[in-house]
Structure 1
């Protein structure tokens, strides 16, 4: 199955399967604690997903973490909204989940019909799907692509007057075979292409990838994704959601 980006949306379509990442249901609670009033986004997220399912004619939805936001633990909002959210989705399509770092105890919130994969990911055709916060199983090396979320990838634009704006982006990068940990050695001479999926929830926050190294040192060296750390970031190709190719990360 080939994959393609859904134009204008942070979603991938592979055959009849729609893939999205980073819902962060319940993130509004964090904003509320900071004095920012953001109404629940669950209804809007659900509406967007339903429209995408209709538009793409997908028969299956895969969410590669993070379903919820609070970690550790679960907020009352998450306990109330997540089961209903997925029950509504199940009325429309098959649903599968691979958990992210925010998804502790997510099994307790999901209806039984939701298929829950391990956090290390799984294979869909020739595509390995996982959230990206943990190292994947060695079987990912048999894939043509590894698709992850977690990084909240974006590019920051600015002008001489100081105006700045940030847009979510797709990232396509090569994995540096020489930097693969020992447990992966000898399994493949040609690692899969790495694809970073932008967050589906617009309130989940974005991390500009083109800031100066000293400003974003932790992002590139310490995290957030171990598999992204060993990618060839300078030659990573950056695309806007409408498909516009912005160039290679090393030249931004």
Structure 2
């Protein structure tokens, strides 16, 4: 297929996306840089709850910020890669939300570069974050259908990924906020954030004209890319209970595009096929 300008040069070794134990985050090496990947930060979520639902919840912005800063200190990346929904409001960020993001970006290490994939909640974030006030000079905002960095494809997941993203070794996305409902022997239950990992299933992609020429869709002997669905970084936002019957997934290509999907807890516990957890 024709070269896509959003795709960088391929790496010589297979891409590896490694979850950070105990965290809703992963690391990868892209373009010779160490990157840490997170999804669905949803800055300003508490303000959104007050406006949308009339629910008054104290702001946890400082806690979110400190958790992300601790993660950066632990992993020491060159780049932070946000897989969409950095902010919560659909339009331009409001006062509390914008203030949260300004303090967050001012707290980042000076040498850190930031790439933000636009999510469905990110509105016109590029007019403020990258092209407007420029609270940091080293911020890149890319479309929600994604970009490829070496052989790691990233998108938000609320829309179909760009063709180049499907040609990557591994596709990373957010949007879904996967969770599992776990029950104990006495009938108690709890909900925990989870990872979903598997291979891309070609079925939902083959009939879409934009994917004509994607090699693994046309050659049965070629292994499909891996898919990694990230848990939400924001622990208040809830999500899709992937092991509860009747739950609707949010992404147009999940779960149909996920083959042999397995669930993992943040601590690395493998739960097995997500439907049977």
TM, length-normalised to structure 1 = 0.89
RMSD: 2.0
- Quote the offset at 1:139 in angstroms: 0.7
Aligned to 1:38: 57
Choose from 86, 100, 109 the match for 1:81. Answer: 100
Is the Cα contact below 8 Å between 2:203 and 2:257 reproduced in 1? Answer: no
1:187 is aligned, of 194, 208, 214, to 214
> How much has 1:160 moved relative to structure 2?
6.1
Cα distance between partner residues in 2 of 1:29 and 1:129: 28
Q: Note the residue ranges of structure 1 that are not aligned, 5 or more in a row.
A: none
- Worse-matched range after superposition: 168-177 or 25-34: 25-34
How far apart, CA to CA, are the structure 1 residues paired with 2:240 and 2:161?
A: 22
Whether the 8 Å contact between 2:89 and 2:123 is mirrored in structure 1 is no
Shift of 1:37: 3.5
CA contact under 8 A between 1:17 and 1:62: conserved in structure 2? Answer: yes
The structural deviation recorded for 1:123 is: 0.9
1:164 aligns with 2:163: no
Match of 1:96 among 115, 137, 142: 115
Partner of 1:70: 89
Report the counterpart of residue 27 of structure 2 in structure 1: 13
Secondary structure in structure 2 of the residue aligned to 1:174: strand
Preserved CA contact (<8 Å) 1:83 1:109:
no
Q: Is the 8 A contact 1:46 1:89 kept in 2?
A: no
Per-residue deviation at 1:26? 0.8
Partner Cα distance (1:64, 1:141) in 2: 16
2:25 is the counterpart of 1:25? no
Counterpart position of 2:198: 173
Structure 1 position 58 matched with structure 2 position 91: no
| Among 264, 268, 272, the residue aligned to 1:239 | 264
Between the aligned partners of 1:24 and 1:194, the Cα distance in structure 2 is: 22
Give me the whole-angstrom Cα distance separating, in 2, the residues matched to 1:117 and 1:227.
20
Segments of 5+ residues of structure 2 without an aligned counterpart are: 1-14, 217-222
The CA distance in 2 between the partners of 1:105 and 1:5, in whole Å, is 30
Distance (Å, rounded) in 2 between the aligned partners of 1:229 and 1:250: 10
Note if contact 1:170-1:196 (Cα within 8 Å) is conserved in structure 2. yes
Residue 102 and residue 188 in structure 1: after superposition, are their counterparts in 2 closer, same or farther (change >3 A)? same
Pairs within 5 Å for 1:84-163: 84-89=103-108, 91=110, 93-110=112-129, 111=134, 112-113=136-137, 114-159=139-184, 161-163=186-188
User: Contact (CA 8 Å) 2:24, 2:230: kept in 1 or not?
Assistant: yes
Q: What is the CA–CA distance in structure 2 between the aligned matches of 1:142 and 1:13, rounded to whole Å?
A: 20
Which stretch of the first structure deviates more once superposed, 14-23 or 183-192? 183-192
Q: Secondary structure at the match of 1:45?
A: helix
- Aligned ranges for residues 199-238 of structure 1 at < 5 Å? 199-212=232-245, 215-216=246-247, 218-219=248-249, 224-232=250-258, 235-238=260-263
Relative distance call for 1:153 and 1:76 in structure 2 (3 A) is same
Deviation at residue 191 of structure 1 after TM alignment: 3.0
Higher mean C-alpha deviation, range 136-145 or range 224-233: 224-233
With normalisation by structure 2, the TM-score equals 0.81
